[in-house]
Structure formats: C-alpha cells, structure tokens
Amino acid sequence: MRFTPLICLALFLAACSPSAQLPAPIGLAYLINKPISLNVTRVEVVKKYQSSSKFPHVENDLPVPPVAMIQQWVQDRLLPVGKTGYAVVTIEEASVIETPLQGTAGLRRMFTVDQSEQYDAKMFVKIEIFDDAGNPKCFAYARAQGSRTVAENLTLGQRRKVWIVMMEKIMNNLDEELERNVRSYLSAYIY
C-alpha cells in the first residue's frame, strides 16, 4: 500500500499537534469557611428541579451532578442551632446543557483541532426561613452559571476534568452569592 505525500503530511501534523491544555482543578474554596449557624431546628432540601437524562441535558453524566453539589453545600455551610422554626433550601435549577459546535470544513479539517461541544451550567437556589406553623419569614436567593467548550480530541477522562473545574468555579460563585445574601436577608436568623 502506498501513501500519498498529502496523507503522510496529514499524519505527521496530527502526530505533532500540541496536546490539549487542561485547566487545573481549583477546589471548593468555601470548605475553609465556618458553617453559617442558623437559628432554626432543621434545614430541609427540596429538589424542585427535576434533572432530565435526555439530550441535551448532561448533568447526570458529570462526576458529581449539580444537585448533589448543592446538597453537599447545604450540609457543609448551613448549621441549624436553634430551638424553633426551620429552613428550606429549594434547588430551582441545576442543569448542564451540551451544544454541539460546528467544526472546520473541507481539507483544513485534517489540520485543525476544533472545539466540538459547549457546556452551559446553571444553578439557582432559594433559602427560606419558616416559623413552626409553616409561615414564611424571609428568604435569600442566588444564581450562578458558567460555560466551557471542549476540544474534539479530549478523552472522556480529560472532559471530566474540564467539567469538574467548570462546576467548582460555578459552585464557588454560588457560595459567595448565597453567603452574601443569607447574611443580608436572613441576618435576623444568624447566630
């Protein structure tokens, strides 16, 4: 079998193409902070957002789905220390949407590594305080979102690393906004 010079050149360039630069994990910065002590007897989590397993929803493909990240945040950051009332954390949105991207056309495609998919993640959370009779007293709300594209030559392991970094950044942003809003709007219930 004979290789034409064009095929040999394509194989050579593909072998010499730089490997993808992956972001380094940033971690969950809020883990160093003390929990917020709330003057309530318990904290409940309500999953209003129902995750879909149908494309373009891919949140369940992530190593840690957004709903699980928010639930863990509640355990890590909200500490019930009171004798009356309760708090409800409602997960209103926790989605990750995959959008296929248009690749390079024609002969140039052989020499190009395209961004093949974009991932858009959204997290919306509401924290409400209720008295023992179930009457709402106050609430705080926060949103965080972000996007990331991935190159077509990434392995599944490399994609997972990109997803983890994207979700850590969004979760850190959500924590900052939640803490700021909890301290502003729920201040009467903070010990």
Q: Assess whether the previous peptide bond of 66 is cis (omega < 30° from 0).
A: no
Q: What is the pLDDT of residues 8-41, one digit of tens each?
A: 434 444 444 444 555 666 688 888 889 999 999 9
Q: Which pTM does this prediction carry?
A: 0.83
- Predicted pLDDT at 23: 61
pLDDT of residue 26: 67
Q: Could you write out the DSSP letters of every residue in 19-74?
A: PP-PPPP---GGGGSPPEEESSS-EEEEE-S----STTB-GGGSSS-HHHHHHHHH
Q: Is the pLDDT higher at 105 or at 74? A: 74
The total number of residues written for the chain in this structure: 191
Among the ranges given (3-7, 53-57, 145-149, 168-172), the one the predictor scored with the smallest mean pLDDT: 3-7
What is the share, in percent, of the chain residues with pLDDT greater than 70? 86
Predicted local confidence at residue 130, as pLDDT: 98
32-189 fold: Double Stranded RNA Binding Domain (3.30.160)
Q: Is 94 exposed, middle or buried (0-12, 13-18, 19+ CB in 10 A)?
A: buried
Report whether pLDDT(129) > 80: yes
Q: For residue 109, what pLDDT band results from cuts at 50, 70 and 90?
A: confident
Q: Nearest 5°: CA angle at 96, between 102 and 123?
A: 135
Domain parsing of the chain, residue ranges? 32-189
